[in-house]
Amino acid sequence: MEEQIIYGRNAVTEALRAGKCIDTVYIQKGSTGLGKLITLAKENGAVVKDVSADRLDEMSGGGKHGGVAAAAAAAEYASVEDILAVSENKGTPPFIIIADEIQDPHNLGAIIRTAEAAGADGVIIPKRRSAGLTPTVFKTSAGAASWVKVARVSNLTDTIKLLKSKGIWVYGAEADGQPFYSADLSGPAALVIGSEGNGLGRLVRENCDMILSIDMYGKINSLNASVSAGILMYEIVRSRRSAL
């Protein structure tokens, strides 16, 4: 497996807390306030090395690392069955996020971060034309990618059909859909967020049970994919709480 670099204090801390296999933690010489992180790294059996700021800049590709980076094995993806098992174990209706060809790692990381905060069971992404679990995704997710199960599938349409066969209602997000606040989102749900430029793929859209839209009241007629995802995820949370 290829080496994976995770950088940023929060991302590295959460990866260690989640039990991710970390080989080495790199600390910038002269950094302060990292005592707990270093202790956690040693408790997890990781080697701790002091390195220069230039070395960390190189490892993070110029990203903001906060004086910390870690080398781990490439991320292991969960299966769709693993994600379905989460709700079964919790005794709650399935709550799944599907990212349809989200290619910007910052958007994918933000979606994963919000999915974890909203209590989603997992995130499903396609193998092609999508960002994967890269270091940038881990950084942007602020460590949430260590906690949320992410499945990578060959065919999103087939996966959606599988979810529907299990009684999960699939909602797509597009500008021309039904206003989200008029839909009952309290049951088993999979929310599909389309790509930044093209929205939902044709076959993906055709296989959604309902298309939801977010009303726009300003002069801009669209929202960032991760922002749209956050609004709709928390509408699902609100609907579920209201149904209790």
Distance in angstroms (rounded) separating the CA atoms of residues 200 and 184: 21
Would you state the pLDDT for residue 172? 97
In the chain, what are the domains?
A: 3-73 (3.30.1330.30), 80-243 (3.40.1280.10)
CA contacts within 13 A on the Cβ side of 153: 23
Radius of gyration of the chain (CA): 19
Report which residue type is found at 237: V
Contact predicate 18/147, CB 8 Å: yes
Per the structure block, which two tokens stand in for 124? 């499903």
What is the value of pTM for the model shown? 0.79
CA 2 to centroid of chain Cα atoms:
21
Would you state the pLDDT for residue 3? 61
- Measuring CA to CA, which residue among 6, 159, 160, 149 is closest to residue 70? 6
At 139, the pLDDT band (50, 70, 90 cuts) reads confident
Distance in angstroms (rounded) separating the CA atoms of residues 113 and 8: 15
Residue whose structure tokens are 């055709």:
206
- Give me the percent of the chain exceeding a pLDDT of 70: 98
Contact predicate 49/27, CB 8 Å: yes
Distance in angstroms (rounded) separating the CA atoms of residues 41 and 118: 28
Distance in angstroms (rounded) separating the CA atoms of residues 195 and 176: 15
Residue whose structure tokens are 């940023």:
8
User: SS3 of 20, please?
Assistant: coil
Is a pLDDT exceeding 90 seen at residue 244?
no
33 Cβ contact list (under 8 Å, min separation 6):
none
Least confident of 45-54, 131-140, 164-173, 205-214: 131-140
